[in-house]
Amino acid sequence: MKKGKQAGALMLLVASVIWGSTFVAQAMGMDHIGPFTFQALRSLIGSLALLPVILVFDRVKAKKGHQKPGKQHTKDLLIGGSLCGLTLFVAINLQQFGLLYTTPGKAGFLTALYILIVPIYGLFLGHKARSSLWLSVAIAAVGLYLLSVTEQFTISIGDLLLIACAFAFAVQILLADHFVMKVSGVKLCAVQFLVCGLLSLIAMFIFEKPTMSGILAAAGPLLYAGVLSSGVAFTLQILAQRTTPPAIASLLMSLEAVFAVITGIIILGQVPSTREIIGSALMFIAIVYAQQTSLPKEGSPVGSV
């Protein structure tokens, strides 16, 4: 592997560690503040954390002689950012409430179901599905059963919230995929975090009573989730995908769920049962297989900044 690809792979690995461990930060933050409060502050911090990245990318583009975006770009950015922010608000808060009832490790794998749901949604948009997708869905269904359904054939409210979260994330990803072809990916992400943060802020004042002492006590998890997960990890992903083949990039980003389990064990001492380990392994196989069989050819564009 060339040096550029090695550096890109390392950046994606670091990003996956950050994203996976963020599930633990989200769980720890709710020891002091409510779900809406956490996501409101985390999302607003994330939006601010991306401003320096936007300024740097704009300066680089200006030096290369790129023209400044016009009114249509601004319109698409506001519409796209608002729609993505609305769906992110639904998805991320379902996830946050789900973490009240289940472990970060399980949350990581259940959230990752969106990787399988996105191509299924695509069927309703006229896209064709490969036979490999249905094999992946079948494997994931077995994994989901082992991971979430108990021997008494019951499923927890937390798992249901996280499954709903995966469906919402799939919608958000399809929207982002549509608008990122028209606008800067970093700016789109910053606007969606801002919209998500403002909506969560409204919900926070309606349903919760945050205190300054609680917010200060949750400052560590908030900064970790806001600055590192939204700002640093997202920037690493953008830089890495310029030199990393899609097959390697997708595999490394899939490790997010694995790192959620590992950090949950190390930091919170939440050791999964044998049944949950087998279920997680099957879901990971399904997720990786689904991605590998639907990737663009190497050398094709991965994304836009």
Give 71-100 pLDDT, tens digit per residue: 888 999 999 999 999 999 999 999 999 999
CA distance between the termini of the chain: 25
**pTM across the whole model:** 0.88
What pLDDT, on the 0 to 100 scale, is given for residue 269?
94
- Locate 86 and state its tokens: 């609305």
Number of helical (H) and strand (E) elements in the chain, helices listed first: 14, 0
What pLDDT, on the 0 to 100 scale, is given for residue 301?
35
Give 111-170 pLDDT, tens digit per residue: 999 888 888 888 887 777 677 778 888 999 999 989 888 766 688 999 999 999 999 999
Task: Please enumerate in sequence order all residues whose Cβ is within 8 A of that of 187, keeping only pairs 6 or more positions apart, or say none.
Answer: 54, 77, 81
Mean residue pLDDT across the chain: 87
- Confidence class for position 18, pLDDT limits 50, 70, 90: very high
Domain ranges of the chain: 3-125+155-270
Amino acid (one-letter) located at 8: G
